[in-house]
Chain A
């Protein structure tokens, strides 16, 4: 992607003003986006992203520059300009990289490169999903089916001798169903994705995913407004994990811990959650959406136990924050593209399975809310306050699932909510999502088995 001698020169030029670490990240990415709406292929876009990010550290100072200029002169200029922001002693260092980039066996084998697949084959999948959604019910007004795939080639080199390459291939199908009864419109969504090629898309059980999206939209059309007040809340598996991703995961990232901006800072070894909670971030799970071979700083992927039986065990750490925390990287440095300096981020994060069956959890709940599919939400890492939408909610009455509810939002404080988990199911599942933060929007999995929280504030339109 870029010759070794140019990279060595850029790494060296970046250190001329006294920096103690320099890094080059080269990215060449091919993407395809197809959207079928109302049965017609309305969007069909191909693109190529290419650029280079240069990073310099000096102690706790970090400088980042990026460009898609790829001539030697252009890159040296970017490196020396960035170096001007480091006010150290002038030094001359000659960075020498290994002869060849480090080769690793991939953890995530790819069968069919999506960039080589005929688009008519992709279109067939979109059409099949569209048919299943539109035939589901007469109230379905429209289906919007999108297919996104990409092949991201990266080269990472730094002044400590890292010189490595990786190919990340990702595919995702997003199914949105819109149902209407004339005056009201509701939507349902399902978006499975993987660190895998076209074999993932072609192998998807469309009958399940497309029908679920349609079923959610139709069900919500007949839902009553959610009540407001404090209730026990049962959150189902897979994408239900988004709530702990926001409410706990972000607070365990070094980007907030290093500056003491997290409620979990300085609490390793302390009890921070209910005994039933073990929380793990694992980038090595084969072909999962949030999986990686190496992170965007060239560190290999690993499994990090963050909370074990309620006790805080560790954080997700990138190279820069590792300096402030005097700790080691945990293979968690990630970024959207060369346009972002990496920081500590999640990969596939999940609550480990417990012992209750989903049936037991519902039977043991006299009155509460069952969140079957969660929507998105956000959190303030400084306070831990979060908010979440529930895409498909039900009332639970006398241990049974009762009527569907719409417009339910959960609010609360992450550090308090994880103390209140009082049942954990045995049906662990993962769900694909995009997570946005300072290093951009990156693919992550959230996951959990069904869990029950003894009390969360639910905001709906029906005052209680």
Chain B
């Protein structure tokens, strides 16, 4: 069934059933992914999937349901589920957005990506893999060489006048390398995400992937104690991504954030400014409206260490008596409306990554964090996670450490940021926003070396 037919039928039938307000959210995703192994295409995947979610106001309460099948049977399944689910719900009152706002005119879809053929993409993977093997004799395997090409189309309709649509796309390559020297095996990966295929440089990617892995060979143990630490940009971004939910008004209102009651207070050192920019041209999470139809705009969440606002959707904004910041979010049509940052990052400072560690007499550089999903308490901010990195002596990298754990508290780390680097990088991992950070120098963190 066509989307417009489905929508009209749903809205008409819904009104007959006494559902007063009704919203239809549509998402269509096309993707192509492929992996090669030793020059040969090993996995190859193409897909087209769409689905809709519906929320509707019944007896003053909001009911939710979704489906991936757009047929007559689903119209009834959705409307019956909306009614049944609304009857039991006890949440704060919700309402749909009225459609008279104005929106930025910006297209985040890169048509140049459509012009790259599948053969060109595969040839690029083969070229990088070849260069990885040729780069150093200690490379024993390129154990992952893959790409993903993805485009997402979204549309939002409600019976209060909203009719919006937009689309976004990106291209992603990832390489993982295993290196071996004597009996020591190390592995690391390199990921690039772009809207312009021509910016990808096979030599540079191979170099990055191999050198990162090689840099961990010859690890040593060092005393377990508190060290001054430099978080390399990607590790800093991963840490911020883990705790970004603390800035959500939903977490605050539900007593699940220690940032409750801290508006306009100094929650980080003065060097820290955190910005959310949903209109970033290259942002994976860019869009001109959020999943409730609210127009988006660039805002500072933390300015020179002061907490300026939380992320709001319509529901949390109403409760706090403020306007939505345009951060209503659905992870897909399968979710209910929650809150998420869009492209959220630490604003770069003045010193390069090298300058950050050159000032250390003794310290540790953290390049990589693992186990953030389990070793971090998102509410308390406590973390104790596995890390890779290097030992620094007299301003120079002395060599890699064995596997480490670092333990600390995110809110203390924010206060302990001494310097912010210039090298802003976004972390493609994680689902809670597209999160970026430059490298950060932190006063002190507890380090345990295996």
Q: Do A and B share a complex?
A: yes
Given the contacts A85-B41, A85-B44, A141-B255, A40 and B68 also touching, CB distance less than 8 Å: no
Q: Is residue A81 within 8 Å, beta carbon to beta carbon, of the partner chain?
A: yes
Q: B335 — nearest CB in chain A belongs to which residue?
A: A45
> How far is A38 from B141 in the complex, measured between Cα atoms in Å?
51
Q: Is residue A412 within 8 Å, beta carbon to beta carbon, of the partner chain?
A: yes
Given the contacts A42-B89, A49-B68, A50-B69, A378 and B371 also touching, CB distance less than 8 Å: yes
- For B42, B176, B258, B448, the residue with the greatest tally of chain A CB atoms inside 10 Å of its CB is B448
Q: Is residue B414 within 8 Å, beta carbon to beta carbon, of the partner chain?
A: no
A441 to B: closest C-beta gap in Å: 12
Q: Is residue A460 within 8 Å, beta carbon to beta carbon, of the partner chain?
A: yes
Find residues 223-247 in chain B having any chain A CB closer than 8 Å to their own CB.
224-226
Binds B, one of A160-168, A278-286, A403-411: A403-411
CB-CB contacts of A388-414 with B at 8 A, as 1s and 0s?
110000000000000000111101100
Whether the pair B373, A378 counts as a contact (CB closer than 8 A) is yes
Q: B450 — nearest CB in chain A belongs to which residue?
A: A457
Given the contacts A44-B64, A45-B85, A48-B69, A178 and B379 also touching, CB distance less than 8 Å: yes
Q: Is residue B37 within 8 Å, beta carbon to beta carbon, of the partner chain?
A: yes
Whether the pair B336, A45 counts as a contact (CB closer than 8 A) is yes
Whether the pair B334, A47 counts as a contact (CB closer than 8 A) is yes
Residues of B within 8 A of A185 (CB): 256, 258, 377, 379-380
Q: Is residue A274 within 8 Å, beta carbon to beta carbon, of the partner chain?
A: no
The bracket for how many chain B residues form the interface is: 35 or more
Partner of A389, one of B42, B186, B254, B375: B375
> How far is A123 from B225 in the complex, measured between Cα atoms in Å?
49
B99 to A: closest C-beta gap in Å: 25
- The A interface, classified by DSSP as helix, strand, loop or mixed, is strand
A19 to B: closest C-beta gap in Å: 12
A52 to B: closest C-beta gap in Å: 10
A351 to B: closest C-beta gap in Å: 20
**Count of CB-CB pairs between chains A and B under 8 Å:** 222
Partner of B187, one of A48, A341, A382: A382
Whether the pair A187, B377 counts as a contact (CB closer than 8 A) is yes
> How far is A186 from B31 in the complex, measured between Cα atoms in Å?
40
Residues of A within 8 A of B49 (CB): 51, 66-68, 339
The bracket for how many chain A residues form the interface is: 35 or more
Q: Is residue B67 within 8 Å, beta carbon to beta carbon, of the partner chain?
A: yes
Whether the pair B44, A409 counts as a contact (CB closer than 8 A) is no
A369 to B: closest C-beta gap in Å: 13
Given the contacts A261-B141, A387-B385, A375 and B91 also touching, CB distance less than 8 Å: no
Residues of B within 8 A of A68 (CB): 48-51, 68-69
Q: Is residue A69 within 8 Å, beta carbon to beta carbon, of the partner chain?
A: yes
Given the contacts A45-B66, A459-B404, A119 and B371 also touching, CB distance less than 8 Å: no
Q: Nearest 8 pairs between A and B by C-beta?
A: A459-B405, A376-B374, A387-B386, A387-B371, A228-B448, A40-B90, A459-B448, A409-B384
What are 28 pairs between A and B in contact, CB < 8 Å?
A: A37-B254, A41-B90, A41-B91, A45-B65, A45-B85, A46-B64, A46-B66, A47-B334, A48-B68, A48-B74, A49-B334, A66-B45, A68-B48, A68-B49, A82-B44, A142-B255, A185-B377, A187-B377, A229-B224, A261-B178, A339-B49, A376-B373, A377-B374, A387-B374, A387-B405, A457-B448, A459-B384, A461-B408
Q: Residues on B close to A: CB < 8 A?
A: 37, 40-51, 53, 63-69, 74, 77, 81, 84-85, 88-91, 118, 141, 143, 176, 178, 185-187, 224-226, 254-256, 258, 334-336, 370-371, 373-377, 379-380, 382, 384-386, 403-408, 446, 448, 450
Q: Residues on A close to B: CB < 8 A?
A: 37-38, 40-51, 60-70, 78, 81-82, 85, 119-120, 123, 141-142, 178, 180, 184-187, 225-226, 228-229, 259-261, 339, 341, 375-378, 380, 382-383, 385-389, 406-409, 411-412, 457-464
